[in-house]
Amino acid sequence: MLMNILLAAVIILTIITAARLLKVFEFTSILRGRKPYDISESENNITALMFLLSMVGLFSMFIYFTNKYYNYKYLLPPAASIHGKEVESLLELNLIIITLAFFITQTLLLWFAYRYRYNKNRKAYHYAHNNTLEMVWTIIPAVVLSVLILKGLIVWNQTTRKSEDVDKVVFELYARQFDWTVRFAGKDKLLGDANYTMISGTNTLGLITPELVDEQLDALNKEKARLETEMNEKFPNKEKLAELKTAYRRLKRQLQLVMEFKKKSTEQPYQTAYDDIVFQDTIYLPVNKTIELHLRSQDVIHSAYMPHFRVHMYCVPGVKTGFTFTPTITTAEMQAKLGNPNFNYLLFCNNICGSAHYNMQLPIVIVTEEDFTKWLNSKKTVGEQIAEKQGTVSEVPSTEQISADSTKQTAMKIHL
Amino acid sequence: MSEIHSTHAEAQVAAHAHAHHDAHGHHKESFISKYIFSMDHKMIAKQFLITGIFMGLVGMSLSLFFRLQLGWPNQPMPILETFLGKWAKGGILDPNFYLAAVTIHGTILVFMVLTAGLSGTFSNLLIPLQIGARDMASPFLNMLSYWFFFLSSLIMMISLFVETGPAASGWVVYPPLSALPQASQGSGLGMTLWLLSIALFIVSVLMGGLNYITTVVNLRTKGMSMTRLPLTVWAFLITAILGLLSFPVLLAAALLLIFDRSFGTSFYLSDIFIGGQALEQTGGSPILYQHLFWFLGHPEVYIILVPSLGITSEVIAVNARKPIFGYRAMIASMLAIAFLSFIVWGHHMYITGMNPFLGSVFTFTTLLIAIPSAIKAFNYITTLWKGNIRFTPGMMFAIGVVSLFITGGLTGIILADSALDVNLHNTYFVVAHFHIVMGVASMFGTFAGVYHWFPKLFGRMMNNKLGYAHFWLTLISAYGVFFPMHYLGLAGVPRRYYNYTAFEIFNGFADLNTLISIFAIIGGLAQFIFVFNFIYSAIKGPKAPQNPWNSTTLEWTTPVEHIHGNWPGAIPEVHRWPYDYSLPDREEDFVPQTEPLKEEEKVHAHH
């Protein structure tokens, strides 16, 4: 407390002193026969010189930072995808052009500021306009921009072109606060249908298969019964009751929607999830294969950013988005290239999504096609997992099973 | 026709002012009607400016708080706890409050400071004074405009103190994050207050804008044709039109968001599973919000920038003692930028899953903006050429605007390109780009305006020496903060991250982040030089002469002491354009707009 008062006193005294000093300064300049706000020619010359120095400073800063940071030690390593290479060379072209423009215009601006500083023997040159000059600096930027627009659109078309490749790898990234889930489409190259009403502690992606629909109906009905008993108990807390009512209303609607899936669960789209493979740790992808990435989100907008491949796309709840690319360098090759055995490709969220937005990442490992197939075969498919669980389901009540499986999701407060 | 119109309007206003004068002739204005609920445009300008400066200091402090976190991650900073209390227990900033600080910093700076503080101040001060009008077309609406702004700022300030914290979903407040309290604690009461504040803000902007447009169109003095308007007035006019056309769209966006939050509609929400529950909302699209938001959001960038460019044109011409080069080209390029700003909003959304063809269209239209921008930059530079430059603090800041406008504008060429935006979207490259071209450049324009028109605002002069110190420290720290961010962005460092300690690939940038924070602190402290100079000079500064900069425009023909109605006698008549500086056949280096053309000038006059 005493410190704070002292600090405040010091600040107030400083301000008063500064104000007094200014007054003194003003009086002395009046005594010298000048107005306190007049700018003398020598003062003006110093400022002009400072502008010249600021030009030197600006360019030195540019050179220092570019020299230090514009290299593979700091920047992203060379693009590791086919379209990424094009993007990289387009970026370089753009950077060269804007650097040139930066140097030319800043030199002119700051040099003129210095060169044409006030001189009482000189009069400014009344020069209001010149059509030729203005045409020049309309046409030159227009021509340069045409080139940039054209090149840009060509690269953009390459980047966003839909692949006709039948031998592609289809996988899905599913985002939620604050992690990623990965799903490969399996042998049929079709991602099984999913819906947010099907999400549960075990079925985090909301996949739809006849078994999962039954399981979900079962869980929802149990939850419904639980809510009903809880609501029928006496609740002095109005807020709590309102919360329960909302939850109950939502649950009933969810039940209805899941019932719809029940009716249609023998249809083809609900059979394709069996060979899908779901996991949450590292993303493995094969090199030199077309990768068709599908994106979904469970709660808010996230963004799947894989800067090494120049891949970036929003994950939007209720909307399906995607990106197609072809990795060209395996992780091992890149590690050798950079001389950094710890190097890893990364996926991270790049659209503000809540408090832990800053830590929503997943490593990506690019391997050869054989290694990829080997790795994929070692993983259990959704169908296999269902079958396994069906075997145990009679012994273990589903509520406990789910809570055991979903220690990761305590934050989701699921009471199934 | 238009001349008849304007003389008529002028007569009306003069008559009104006269009647007004008679009615109040016997008693002094009360304190409340003079200083608080004032309808005088000069007083309202000061109210906007002072509120803007206060909000600016709040927004800046928030940025310093999160720069402390970014510069020295996870190191206890007792000063944070002093200011933020429970949001920085033990001096460690709370991750939720980090996002809230980022959000409110952006909101305050974009809306409260660079829209209201800039346009509100200088449109109010300069439009009537420079076109020769006794006041705004509707002084009452003008007063309301300020008080709605005040209320909006007040509510934004209150939101900083609510228990769950202020809005924390970025200044763009994208739903569903901003719509669901389950997704972010800032999306509770804090977000409600944010929306309320912005709704009131939009009302303020619309009332102000209507007034500025009506005043410029109807109340110009005799002889003040559109091509004799100073470029400041052109800039304010264009800004007001932009605001009038785009802010209502933000109101619509905000309103739908309010519905989604409070009344269970699903404009922006669909298929969401959160907090263990499947929400009812279905069929909406979060992307719809982004379209609506950026339909304002992009013109907003120019609502912020154009007034600064207008101020820069005027200040550079006056202090280089030269006519602004290419007056008509300057107007045309401002109009072109304003028009284009309405058809480029999609460049904020290249990677939202929008159809790639739309991306191509937006790339094309966005890159077109570079052409009028280049014209403006070259015209400023040519105005300096063979000038006779006086470096007043205002002039220094104006040159700063041009330098920053170029530096920040050039990186826009990269971000406009959809193919390049993919990898730079939401990285520090974007932060660097828009802070330099729109944030700092407009802030410099505001400072240029304050230093240049301070004599008109307070009848006193600001201290030059303090002005120099303020300028150099601000310029150095602005470049020091934002220039290195380009390299962070090129390396893929994402924005709005609480820290980067979990990312080995960004470890190399720890030093750079510390350096940026040091520059930010220097820049922040430098602003107190300005605040001190401002307050000191307003109260104790040396009395200003009537026309301290030897300027040609009408505002310098009014008396130094403010009077209601601006001119004691008749409104001056205008005979020439505002840029007759250093005419070759004249002794003095400026000819006021009020001086009639000589016979030989009439023949040669190109304006």
β pairing state of A361-367 and A283-286: parallel
User: pLDDT band at residue B365, thresholds of 50, 70 and 90?
Assistant: very high
Question: Measured between alpha carbons, how far is B571 from B575 in angstroms, rounded to an integer?
Answer: 13
Do A133 and A65 share a domain, yes or no? Answer: yes
Q: Which of B364, B417, B502 lies closest to A359 in CB terms?
A: B502
- How many whole angstroms separate alpha carbon A145 and alpha carbon A334? 35
pLDDT tens, position by position, B421-476: 999 999 999 999 999 999 999 999 999 999 999 999 999 999 999 999 999 999 99
Same domain, A154 and A278: no
Q: Is the dihedral of CA A202, A205, A211, A216 positive or negative?
A: positive
Q: Which residue of B has its CA nearest to A86?
A: B419
CATH of the domain at B398: 1.20.210.10
Cβ–Cβ of B417/A133 closer than 8 Å? Answer: no
Give the confidence band of B296 by pLDDT, cuts at 50, 70, 90.
very high
Please give the pLDDT value at position B207: 96
Instruction: Give the pLDDT confidence score for residue B603 in this predicted structure.
Output: 60
Average pLDDT score over residue span A396-411: 38
In a domain, A237, yes or no: no
Element at A283 (helix H, strand E): strand A283-286
- Residue A361: pLDDT over 90: yes
**B586 at interface of A, judged by CB pairs closer than 8 A:** no
Do A156 and A182 fall within a single domain?
no
> Is the same domain home to A111 and A173?
no
| Nearest neighbour of B183 by CB, restricted to A86, A300, A349 | A300
For residue A128, give the nearest of B276, B325, B407 by CB distance. Answer: B325
Q: DSSP secondary-structure letter at A191?
A: P
Contact B59/B108 with Cβ under 8 angstroms? Answer: yes
DSSP single-letter state for residue B380: H
Q: Residue B111 to residues B42, B117, B247, B343: CA-CA distances in angstroms? A: 21, 8, 11, 21
| pLDDT the model gives residue A161 | 87
Residue A241, in any domain of the structure: no
Domain co-membership, A137 together with A110: yes
B 205-264 → A contacts, CB under 8 A: none
Subunit contact A196:B169, Cβ cutoff 8 A = no
The answer, for B510 touching chain A at a CB cutoff of 8 Å, is: no
Half-sphere exposure of A265 (CA within 13 A, CB side): 20
Nearest-10 crossing angle of helices A382-393, A398-405: 130
Contact A317 B286 (CB under 8 A): yes
> What is the pLDDT confidence band of residue A268, given thresholds at 50, 70 and 90?
confident
In a domain, B287, yes or no: yes
Contact call for B583 and A126, based on CB within 8 A: yes
Q: Which two tokens stand for residue A188?
A: 């049929």
The whole-angstrom distance between B597's CA and the closest CA on chain A is 17
Q: How many CA atoms lie within 13 A of B36 on its CB side?
A: 4
Nearest CA in chain B to A117: B389
Question: What does the mean pLDDT of chain A come to?
Answer: 88
d(CA A182, CA B457): 62
Helix (H, G, I), strand (E, B) or coil at B229: coil
Residue A51: the pLDDT is 96
Q: Which residues of A touch B389 (CB under 8 A)?
A: 44, 48, 113, 116-118
Contacts of B262 (CB under 8 A, 6+ apart): none
Compute the CA torsion angle B120, B124, B127, B130 (nearest 10 deg): -120
Task: Tell me whether residue B10 is in a domain.
Answer: no
Token pair listed for B191:
């977000």
Give the residue-averaged pLDDT of A238-253. Answer: 89
CB contact under 8 A, B378 and A137: yes
Chain B residue with CA closest to A305: the answer is: B423
B294–chain A Cβ distance below 8 A for any pair: no
Over residues A317-322, the mean pLDDT reads 93
> Under an 8 A CB cutoff, do B286 and A74 touch?
no
Task: Give the best residue of B107, B227, B294, B381 to mutate against chain A (max A CB count within 10 A).
Answer: B381
At residue B356, does pLDDT exceed 60?
A: yes
Is A133 part of any domain? yes
Average pLDDT value for residue range B380-393:
95
The closest CB to that of A350, out of B168, B494, B536, belongs to B494
Average pLDDT over residues A246-272: 88
A321/B352 Cβ within 8 A: yes
Are B425 and A312 within 8 A, CB to CB? yes
Contact (CB<8Å) A149/B177:
no
Question: pLDDT category, A414, cuts 50, 70, 90?
Answer: very low
Q: Does residue B393 belong to the interface with chain A, where contact is any CB pair within 8 Å?
A: no
Q: Which of B385, B396, B461 sits opposite A47 (nearest CB)?
A: B396
| Range(s) of the domain holding residue A151 | 40-119+128-160
Residue type, B452: H
E strand or H helix at B545 = none
Q: Which residues 6+ apart lie within 8 Å of B191 measured at CB? A: B167, B169, B173, B178, B181, B261
Residue A347 sits in the same domain as residue A199 = yes
- Nearest Cα residue in chain B from A124: B387
pLDDT at A399: 39
Structural domains counted in chain B: 1
d(CA B260, CA A323) in angstroms, rounded, equals 30
Are A291 and A373 contained in the same domain?
A: yes
Which of A173, A300, A335 is most worth mutating to test chain B (most B CB atoms within 10 A of its CB)?
A300
B431 in a domain, yes or no?
yes
Position B171: which residue type? W
Is residue B307 pLDDT above 70, yes or no? yes
| Residue A7, pLDDT score | 86
CA distance A353 to A299: 9
pLDDT higher than threshold 60 for residue B22 = no
Tell me, what CATH number does A282's domain have? 2.60.40.420
A395 has pLDDT over 70: no
pLDDT on residue A394: 43
Beta-bridge partner residues of A305: A312, A348
A257 in any annotated domain: no
A116 CA to chain B: closest CA distance, Å? 6
Contact B270 A317 (CB under 8 A): yes
CA distance A60 to B476: 13
In a domain, B18, yes or no: no
Spell out which residues of chain A touch residue B185, defining contact as CB-CB under 8 Å.
355
- Measured distance CA(B376)–CA(B191) in Å, rounded: 39
Contact A55, A107 (CB under 8 A): yes
Residues A142 and A202 grouped into a single domain: no
Which of A18, A159, A349 lies nearest to residue B419, judging by beta carbons?
A: A159
Note down the domain range covering B314: 37-604
Looking at this predicted complex, what is its ipTM? Answer: 0.92
Residue A381 belongs to a domain: yes
How far is CA A32 from each of CA B15, B165, B286, B466, B548, rounded to the nearest angstrom?
Answer: 48, 57, 67, 20, 19
In a domain, B82, yes or no: yes
pLDDT in tens, B30-43: 888 888 888 999 99
Q: Which of B96, B176, B491 sits opposite A317 (nearest CB)?
A: B176
Q: Is the dihedral of CA B281, B283, B287, B289 positive or negative?
A: negative
- For the ranges A30-44, A135-149, A339-353, the lowest mean pLDDT is seen at A30-44
Same domain, A183 and A276: yes
Q: How far A257 CA lies from chain B's nearest CA (Å)?
A: 11
Give the model's confidence band at B17: pLDDT under 50 very low, under 70 low, under 90 confident, else very high.
Answer: very low
Mutation choice for B interface testing from A96, A226, A335, A352 by most B CBs within 10 A: A352
Query: Which of B257-261, B419-423, B598-602 is predicted with the least confidence, judged by mean pLDDT?
Result: B598-602
Domains contained in chain A, number: 2
Q: Give the residue among A65, A414, A401 at the shortest CA–CA distance from A227.
A: A414
Average confidence (pLDDT) over B295-323: 96
- Alpha-carbon span A361 to A350, nearest angstrom: 10
Asked if residue A357 and residue A295 are part of one domain, the reply reads: yes
B8: in domain: no
Same domain, A152 and A276: no
Among A118, A247, A314, the residue with its CB nearest the CB of B353 is: A314
Paired strand residues for B427: B494
CA quadruple A296, A299, A305, A306: dihedral sign: negative
Q: Which residue of B has its CA nearest to A44?
A: B391
**B363 vs A contacts (CB less than 8 Å):** 149, 152-153, 156
Q: How many CB atoms lie under 10 A from the CB of residue B31?
A: 8
Cβ of residue B530 closer than 8 Å to a chain A Cβ: no
Average pLDDT, chain B: 92
Domain presence at residue A256:
no
Residue A409 is predicted with a pLDDT of: 39
Q: How does residue A400 score in pLDDT terms, banded at 50, 70 and 90?
A: very low
- Domain membership of residue A239 (yes or no) is no
DSSP for B557-607, written as a single string: GS-SS--TTS-SSSPPP--S-TT-BS-TT-SSSB--TTSPPPHHHHHH---
Q: Are A156 and A205 within one domain? A: no
Interface test with A, best of B107, B364, B417, B433 (most A CBs within 10 A): B417
